[in-house]
Amino acid sequence: MAETIDFFLNGELVSVQCPENETLLYLLRERVGLRSVKEGCGVGECGACTVLLEGRAVNACLLAAGKVRGRRVTTIEGLSPKGRLHPLQEGFLLMGAVQCGFCTPGLILAAHSLLEENPHPSREAIVQGLAGNLCRCTGYHDIIRAVKWAAKRMPERE
């Protein structure tokens, strides 16, 4: 049965009609039209569907839509609200950490969550923090460089 789910999406209050137990991934892609949230494995293993819930990275394919009621959800669009690239987006571009781009929104959001918790992560902490996000193209080296680059340029709290 469809319910009304009110939540904050990239800073705006939105109201969506959908079943409580529908996935957040389906809600964002099919009902709101945010195709930046990628559907990869659909079972919590690839990280392509990563979004931020109250600032923490979560797999949207595993989260019931009803769980976001009244809470803040951020997708990649929310990192550059005025069209200005976020340091993580700049870093990924500058370091050549984007190839096909399928994994990129999820990786950047996972990195954002990591840097919120640990603003100056070691290489090992970055590897560990991004372990849930798979990339088939880049080999990860440039992704790690991009996160390190961004860490030096991000404000301590946004």
Least spacing, CB of residue 21 vs ligand FES, in Å: 16
Q: C-beta of 38: minimal distance to ligand FES in Å?
A: 7
Min CB(19)–ligand FES separation in Å: 19
Closer to ligand FES by Cβ: residue 101 or 119: 101
1/43 with CB nearer ligand FES: 43
Q: List contacts with ligand FES (CB under 6 A).
A: 39-42, 44-49, 59, 61, 98-103, 135-138
Do the strands 12-19 and 50-53 form a parallel or antiparallel pair, or are they unpaired? unpaired
With beta carbons less than 8 A apart as the criterion, state whether 62 and 23 touch.
yes
Nearest to 74 by CA among 120, 128, 24: 24
Is the CB of 93 or the CB of 158 nearer to ligand FES? 93
54 CB-contact burial (10 Å; exposed 0-12 / middle 13-18 / buried 19+): exposed
Residue nearer to ligand FES on the CB measure, 38 or 86: 38
Q: How far is the CB of 157 from ligand FES (least distance, A)?
A: 28
Residue spans of beta strands (DSSP E) within the chain: 2-9, 12-19, 50-53, 56-59, 72-74
